[in-house]
Amino acid sequence: MENEKMTFKITDENGTEIEYEVLFTFESDETKKNYIVYTDNTVDEEGNTRVYASIYTPGQAETELKPIETDKEWKIIETILEQIQEQVKESNGDEQ
């Protein structure tokens, strides 16, 4: 179960169901909000995996994703993503 992926589906405005993979969730001590960071595993024009983030309330039967509205919140999320990318690079370097 260690490598089991957590996924969820959202129906877009065209009625297309899209599956997303949860990368991680966290609660910010600074904002007192819970965030979910996820991907649809598509890539942009530069070859980067598209990653999204939203505010959510854990423990609800129907999870509602809310938009992140402040630059401060985006900076918190970007900082965590950068730290995780650094850890992945370091662990991959250790394996070689």
Sequence-distant contacts of 4-8: CB under 8 A, at least 24 apart: 8/38, 8/63
DSSP state of 33: -
Q: Could you list the pLDDT tens digit for every one of the 96 residues in the chain?
A: 456 789 999 888 999 999 999 999 999 999 999 999 999 999 999 998 999 999 999 888 777 899 999 999 999 999 998 998 888 888 887 554
